[in-house]
Structure 1
Amino acid sequence: MAVIYLDNQATTPLAPEAFDAMVPWLRDNFGNPHSPHVMGRKAAAAIEAAREQVAALLPKDGRVIFTGSATESINLALGAVRKMSGQGRNQIAVADTEHAAVRDTALFYGLQGFETRLLPVDEHGLVVMEELEACLGAKTALVGAMLVNNEIGTIQPVDHIATMAHRSGALMLCDAVQGFGRIAIPEQADLIALSGHKIYGPKGIGALWVRNGIELPPLIHGGGQEQAVRSGTLSPALCVGLGVAANICAERWEEDMDHIRNLADRALGLFGDWTVNGSVDQRYPGNLNIRRDGLDVARLMSEVRGVAFSA
């Protein structure tokens, strides 16, 4: 059965260009990138080239750390609060609608001596700014808000949230997984997490952008690889695949967004009598989340098995 695939916010197919670029690093160039010999140095150079491709889509005053996933990136980023707890800052505030990678990790810190606050959102999925303002203070260590909501596509005003966090001396973490390579990345965020398999790159690779001057405790101990915060041998193939995917996003940005907006307009026309979840205006057009009263979603998914979508 030919499947109509409508689940790109869960994962995207691997771009042919990314696949082709990865193959030599899987088949021929197998040197350990942390080895000092010629094969190792060649692999390390490929990783650094990929790092530059990813960094090209991010703010300039920071560094890119490769990880195994966006979830790992978020766990690494939240470690920044451990450095701040000695300053009396032990509060973490994240939007209640964050992806579980942020929300559940923040709640875990709530069991480790930190205070975790879940910020409410309005009917459009936007953080209630008055609630954020009320919780910020001298004890706030970090505020987290995703750029594009993975469920309903709402775009949060991340730069505004970051400015509010900075006024209280807190850091701002942005889960940019659904926005990276598609919409402009907020310049004011301090920590930015992203993933390869959401932008036609491979699974098993993510990255964390860290603003200069921010210290992170190691998440994985063992060998000091990857800037001494994430031990373990990097995969040149996965890094290269992510780099190529990011480069494709940069090259085709306007063309892709025009195409996505056109598809969104056509899709809304097909579902004119359905209700859009989240913000109608402040949303990523590549997300269409709709509902209809009385619909049995489980039955719908069973009856249209030739369409891949999320509910």
Structure 2
Amino acid sequence: MSVPVYLDHNATTPVASEVAEAMSIALRKSFGNPSSAYPLGQAAAEQVAVARNAVASLIGAKAENLVFTGCATEANNLALLGVASACTPNKRHLVISAVEHPAVMAPARQLEAQGWRLTIVPVDEAGRVSVEAVVDAVRPDTALVSIMLANNEVGTLQPVADIAKQLDNSDVLLHTDAAQAVGKIAVDVEALGIDLLTIAGHKFQASKGIGALYVRQGTPIRQILFGANHERGLRPGTENVPAIIGLGVAAELAAKRLAQANTAMRDRRDQLHQLLSASIPGLSLNGHFEARLPNTLNVSFPYVSGQALLNAASDTVMASVGSACHAGESAPSGVLGAMGLDTQRALGAVRLSMGWDTTQDEIATAAAALVHAWRHLAYGA
């Protein structure tokens, strides 16, 4: 039996062979504690520094402004809760979008439960916030605005740089969850104009269990975990050296192939969309037609449940109905609901996300399987 085509790269990516090899060597040989003064520890510290430089370079940042975390969720929590902890009493208002990942939405709600005021800015039918709506939500007591760079379900890109320009002369901080963007599109912290940016290693072929937070120099932020003085005092705990080394290698790979991979993923995405549209009348695209990730295709299949469709095609295609954190078929995606999709269309949605090495043949195989499953479910054919 052939291996099903993997089209769920927005959930997680396979670890690159170069990353796995570097991590394997590190596990066997670079086991020293980076805080130790003897040569084995200092060698590990040097490798952490090399990785920090590589990851920082990928996003146009200075290495000293990068904090390694255990995952993107931790980085998002550090961004929101850490800034909140450093704020003065007259700055207790937070602005986010209606389509944020739970890793931002949940800490925002936690702050709200602690007495913070929270404004959730709606999105349009393409899942995109209005710059004007975000700016209008800012008040004298606003401490932080957090708007994701790319949506994990529909791939829509948010106008983060334009928001930053409008906030430039204010004392409001701007955070972006770039977990789905880094490694897929060019990301530059200076061009974006943000103060904090979240990275997820496993979204671009590093391992799970490693992330990072960019913190612009001078940004008021405090630790939310307590222990020793690692990572500029913002993230205690002995560094996960193998995972950090792997993240550095993944960043180097992404930097080398970003332009070529961007084009390849877009071609495969559009190929899949064309094949499905040609055979399925009424197929609907969810998300922005142009301003979206090159690898992400979210479409609604008429007359069927997206989860039932994927179950029927599971021998050939591995994909999801939305975020890996989403609760299943009986509960339509909150992202699609925020975009104004009706229940039937939302329940028929499927997220198909390519990798940089997804082939034309794999796309053709996946499309044929999805079309066959849809015809069987919709018409019994």
Shorter-chain TM-score range: over 0.9
Which structure has the bigger radius of gyration? 2
Q: Does 1:265 align with 2:274?
A: no
Kept in 2: contact 1:12–1:198 (CA 8 A):
yes
CA RMSD of aligned residues (A): 1.4
TM-score for the superposition, normalised by structure 2? 0.79
Question: For 1:258-306, what per-residue CA distance to the aligned partner results, in whole angstroms no more than 9, with x for missing partners?
Answer: 2112112211111214111011111112000000221122321221122
Listed as ranges, the gaps of 5+ residues in structure 2 are: 322-381
Distance 2:163 2:85 in 1: 22
Identity %: 37
- The match for 1:144 is 146
**Per-residue deviation, residues 93-121 of structure 1 (Å, max 9, x unmatched):** 00010001011111110011211111100
Aligned partners of 2:183 and 2:204 also within 8 Å:
yes
- 1:82 maps to 2:65: no
Q: Match for 1:129 among 128, 131, 138?
A: 131
Q: Which residue of 2 aligns with 1:309?
A: 319
Q: Mark the runs of 5 or more structure 1 residues left unpaired by the alignment.
A: none
Within the alignment, does 1:248 sit opposite 2:250 as a pair? no
Are residue 283 (structure 1) and residue 285 (structure 2) matched? Answer: no
Conserved? CA contact 1:137–1:168, under 8 Å:
no
SS at match of 2:33: coil
Asked if 1:219 is matched to 2:224, the reply is yes
1:36 partner SS? coil
Give the distance between the partners of 1:220 and 1:152, measured in 2 at CA.
33
Which TM-score applies when normalising by structure 1?
Answer: 0.96
**Residue equivalent to 2:302:** 293
Contact 1:142 1:165 in 2 (8 A): no
Matched with 2:196 is 191
Give, in whole Å, the separation in 1 of the partners of 2:301 and 2:58: 37
CA contact (8 A) 1:138 1:169 kept: no
**Equivalent AA in structure 2 for residue 254 of structure 1:** A
- The SS at the match of 1:246 is helix
Deviation at 1:135, TM superposition (A): 1.4
Deviation at 1:7, TM superposition (A): 0.2
What displacement does 1:223 show?
Answer: 1.1
Distance 2:290 2:141 in 1: 35
Give the deviation of 1:124 after TM superposition.
0.8
User: Does structure 1 retain, via aligned residues, the 8 Å contact 2:223–2:235?
Assistant: yes
Residue of structure 2 in register with 1:16 after alignment: 17
Q: 2:365 maps to which residue?
A: none
Residue 253 of structure 2 aligns to a residue whose secondary structure is helix
Q: For this pair of structures, how many residues does the alignment match?
A: 310
Q: Quote the residue 2:369 is aligned against.
A: none
**CA distance in 1 between partners of 2:135 and 2:223 (Å):** 31
1:183 is displaced (CA, Å) by: 1.6
